[in-house]
Amino acid sequence: MKKTKPKLFTMKVEPELLAKWHHFAKSKNKHLSDILKLLMSGEELPKSVPVKKEPKRTYTKVDPKLLREINAIGNNLNQISRRINEGQKFDAVIELSAIEQQLDRVLNAHQVH
């Protein structure tokens, strides 16, 4: 038996009513199209399901000097990468050693005791 593709059904509805419908579907944790299919086929709607909310991110305050230093180190790494990708001749070991020293200074300066 040949399977047929679902057909697209469109209808006009006022924006406020559509917003209410979307809100209702969200309260059931369903897509609006699923709710409309259930209603039109005479099936029972699901009970309300609480919508899972993403936990709020918590941020730690960081010393702006530390951020600037880490940003500068990141910029140095990007410059090294660019040079390597462009095939420029330079001593990457010396450059990376300098970055390692910068990181050590940053770590020592910002350790919590």
Span 38-62, pLDDT tens digits: 888 888 877 765 556 777 888 888 8
Give the end-to-end CA distance of the chain in Å, rounded to a whole number: 73
**Cβ atoms within 10 Å of 35's Cβ, excluding its own:** 19
pLDDT at res. 29: 83
pLDDT at res. 57: 82
| Position 1 pLDDT exceeds 80 | no
The amino acid that residue 65 corresponds to is K
- 76 within 8 A of 95, measured Cβ to Cβ: yes
Span 64-81, pLDDT tens digits: 888 888 999 999 889 888
> CA separation (Å) from 41 to 8, 9, 13, 18?
16, 15, 20, 20
